[in-house]
Amino acid sequence: MTKHIFVTGGVASSLGKGLTAASLGRLLKQRGLRVVIQKLDPYINVDPGTLNPFEHGEVFVTDDGGETDLDLGHYERFIDENLTRDSNATTGSIYSTVLAAERRGDYLGRTVQVIPHITDEIKRRISALASDDIDVVITEVGGTVGDIEILPFLEAIRQFRLDVGRDNVCYVHVTLVPYIAPSGEHKTKPTQHSVIELRSRGIQPDAIVCRSDEPIGDNLARKIANLSSVPAEAVVNAPDASSLYEIPLVIHEEGLDDVICDLLRIDAGPPDLTEWIELNRKVEAATSPVRVGLIGKYVSLVDAYLSVVESLKHAGIQLGADVEIDWIQAEDVEGLLTEDRLRKLDGIVIPGGFGERGVEGKIAAAGYARENDVPCLGLCLGLQCMTIEYGRNVLGLDRAHSSEFEPSTPHPVIDLMDSQRDVTDLGGTMRLGAYVAQLQPGSQVAKMYGEEVVSERHRHRYEFNPRYRSQYAGTDFVCSGESPDGRLVEFIELKNHPFWVATQAHPEFKSRPTRPAPLFLGFMEAALQRAEGRNPQLLAVDATIDA
């Protein structure tokens, strides 16, 4: 029978529940178990797709087109499995399902209530991931114990143990042990109150993960164990780590995966951590500095570009490069064109986004990179801005633009496809999820992928306008990848440039720490070459690090 692990959090948000769940998933997978992870989010939005990035960070997209919480990115990167839209459920989606059932008459006129109807739907979402092919389902419950909106989820997971049996469910509680400087000690009281709150909802944690800035020591761990009715070996410490990829090794050293396997009566050998240990060795060995400018609209919240940053780091790790991100507000770029800040960059990334704000700055950054031989990688909106820039400044298409931002432009080089124009629901015009592209043989992009048919995930509405393909043809601007029917441009690149490449897709969603996305690896190779050329005193990349 499938085993279930529920991860809850207390004291404060952003403690690392998602990373704990992802790390635990990796450890169990390395024991030979088949693992899937899901996130239950208490907000009322149906999905994160319409949330402002300043509110909730990036929207992570799955192969099947699910717009999900960014924690699913951590899950995929750690367990190296492609998840689906079923791995994310929100209060809004759950209530929508229940209300639709009520309208259809499924409840035969009975009063619809939080218990049992909402809690039953939550349990159904959890059970939907359990199958004969899955050994362990790890479910992270978003929010913090004590939040009013989290109560139905806590009640549902409390009931779940009664439904499937005590030996098939384990509760892991992630909490904070803060350091109080005036007293010079870590304090356990917040953890005690958090556990009391969880127990008041009928859930006794089986294991507690104590987050702290520094190791808390065995005495404090035993104190927490005694006050929480948790065995001492089940209270583990996860202090701040220099790299998030250290976390699986930290919690394994603390014995969390052993404790959980014992609790759930899972008969599996010790995890094979050879690959993960090697990954962390490469992280430590990545010392060649490379400065990458990320031209974004939401740079005040770095989580808005979480997958992009992690993908850059993945490539850097493989190449021995220490990636330093220069967060550049897109609206400021035009004022920086003559300043040292841009001249000091070894590469430029123009990521995706929606809305007009900052677009001219992204276009200016594309032009700066093109004219100054700076490696440049465009993602989604980045491709569109690079297409606009080339059309304006090389092809002489005056006021070329996207009709999304300037409907009256005389040259809409980026536009809606004809089939999308009469759709009134903008969500219905989105291209979401994995799409196949045919790459041009011998192109830069094809060489990076090592194949000519590839699949990447998308999240966008506007496309390269096919009516302008002929004007770009025959120039240094190459449409090096397109949809199988030839209608949609998927990749572009520039001849006679170190690296000026873009894709309409989001390859960052498929990058893994042990298997970087090909475009990011190619970009970082070009950026590293520029960094070494600008700084001859830098040591060559360690030959022992795999390229």
Radius of gyration of the chain (CA): 25
Give the DSSP H or E segment for 21: helix 17-29
User: 306-319 vs 71-79: helix axis angle to the nearest 10?
Assistant: 30
Where are any strands of DSSP class E within 168-320? 169-176, 179-180, 185-186, 207-212, 235-239, 288-296
Q: Are 503 and 379 in contact (CB under 8 A)?
A: yes
Task: For residues 9 and 437, give the distance between their C-alpha atoms in angstroms, rounded to a whole number.
Answer: 41
Task: Collapse the DSSP code of 106 into the 3-class scheme (helix H, G, I; strand E, B; otherwise coil) and give the result.
Answer: coil
In this structure, which amino acid lies at residue 459? Answer: R
For the chain, 547 residues long, give each residue's pLDDT as a single digit of tens: 999 999 999 988 888 999 999 999 999 999 999 999 999 999 999 998 888 888 888 999 999 999 999 999 999 999 999 999 999 999 999 999 999 999 999 999 899 999 999 999 999 999 999 999 999 999 999 999 999 999 999 999 999 999 999 999 999 999 999 988 888 889 999 999 999 999 999 999 999 999 999 999 889 999 999 999 999 999 999 999 989 999 999 999 999 999 999 999 999 999 999 999 999 999 999 999 999 999 999 998 889 999 999 999 999 999 999 999 999 999 999 888 888 899 999 999 999 988 889 999 999 999 999 999 999 999 999 999 999 999 999 999 999 999 999 999 999 999 997 655 444 444 456 899 999 999 999 999 999 999 999 999 999 999 999 999 999 999 999 999 999 999 999 999 999 999 999 999 999 999 999 999 999 999 999 999 999 987 554 444 443 344 4
Whether 508 is a known active-site residue: answer yes
The DSSP line for 458-471 is EEES-EE-GGGHHH
Distance from the Cα of residue 299 to its chain's centroid: 16
Whether 376 is a known active-site residue: answer no
Task: For residues 514 and 516, give the distance between their C-alpha atoms in angstroms, rounded to a whole number.
Answer: 6
Contacts of 392 (CB under 8 A, 6+ apart): 363, 398, 399, 400
Task: For residues 310 and 232, give the distance between their C-alpha atoms in angstroms, rounded to a whole number.
Answer: 35
Whether 210 is a known active-site residue: answer no
Where are any strands of DSSP class E within 34-77? 35-41, 60-61, 67-68
Beta bridge partners of 267: none
Q: Which of 170, 376, 380, 385 is catalytic?
A: 380
Q: What's the whole-model pTM score?
A: 0.92
Task: For residues 281 and 317, give the distance between their C-alpha atoms in angstroms, rounded to a whole number.
Answer: 9
Q: Which of 76, 121, 155, 508 is catalytic?
A: 508
Q: Are 288 and 66 in contact (CB under 8 A)?
A: no
Q: Which of 404, 497, 506, 532 is catalytic?
A: 506
Task: Collapse the DSSP code of 485 into the 3-class scheme (helix H, G, I; strand E, B; otherwise coil) and give the result.
Answer: coil
